[in-house]
Amino acid sequence: MILDSLGENGFVSFRDLESRVAASPATIRRDLDRLEEAGVITRVRGGAKRVGGGGASTASEEGLSGIPFHENIGRNRAAKEAIGRAAAQFCIPGEGVMIDGGSTTLQMCPHLDGLSLQVLTNSLHIVSALLPQPTTRILVPSGQVFREQNIVLSAAGDDGMPRFHAPKLFMGAASMGPAGLMQADVILVAAERRLIERADEIIVLVDSSKFSGPSGNVVCSLDEIDIVVTDSAIEPRHVGMMEAAGIRVVIA
């Protein structure tokens, strides 16, 4: 709603947000801080403006930053398969879950057959993997297809999501560190925040290489994450970092 309020001129006043958004001033300020940290907006006197005067739509037209899916799918494949198998064990038969697009979350799919899940996903790869499963119901958001990651993302400010709430969200990351879970593109940040807001529990699937990767745009802080599923090559200091933040670490 904040991004939508920026409108065509790319600016919204704090007073206008207070009147339009059903949230406290403190919550609005926190959300503005989060969007600024993600590089989507800049805080200015009396309100906020879109970075680059509409940079989100420019990024949308040019495509997503980061490693294309077809290049990423083969990296650390054995670790990703083990992580996907372990993560699928958190699914309870008959429940609804959200699975964010990614080369690691994709590895959950073979292990979901027969659980009669309702799955909301933005990944066309995950949709294709789940289609042969007769008891799995699939929901997808509306929006634009980004070929780099083969995912569907709505434009900035446009929700595009079905009215869906799930006990669990499974998501990946470009990297993880003390700042939290990070992605390479701000469009992904905004889309994943919308998923996070619809979930009771955040389960992150990342192989150990993601802890030594480059920094990026922060999607969420460590204290928002409930469980991280990773592989046995992870360094003890990274495990300690997550456990200090209250995260349950599962070694696949």
Q: How far apart are CA 225 and CA 220, in angstroms?
A: 8
pLDDT at 3: 81
> What's the farthest any 2 CA atoms get from each other in the chain?
55
pLDDT at 55: 39
Tell whether the model's pLDDT for residue 7 goes beyond 80.
no
pLDDT at 84: 97
Torsion of CA 49, 14, 27, 51, to 10 degrees: 0
pTM: 0.73
Given pLDDT bands bounded at 50, 70 and 90, which one contains residue 54?
Answer: very low
Q: How far apart are CA 107 and CA 87, in angstroms?
A: 9
pLDDT at 193: 87
57-63: long-range pairs with CB below 8 Å, 24+:
57/155, 57/156, 59/185, 59/186, 59/187, 60/144, 60/153, 60/155, 60/156, 60/187, 63/146, 63/147, 63/148
CA 163: distance to chain centroid? 17
Q: Which helix (H) or strand (E) holds 180?
A: strand 180-183
Under DSSP, is residue 19 helix (H, G, I), strand (E, B) or coil?
helix
Most confident by average pLDDT, 110-124, 131-145, 213-227: 110-124
Whole-number average pLDDT of the chain: 85
pLDDT at 251: 97
pLDDT at 68: 64
pLDDT at 211: 93
Cα three-residue angle 228-231-233, rounded to 5 degrees: 125
Least confident of 17-26, 224-233, 242-251: 17-26
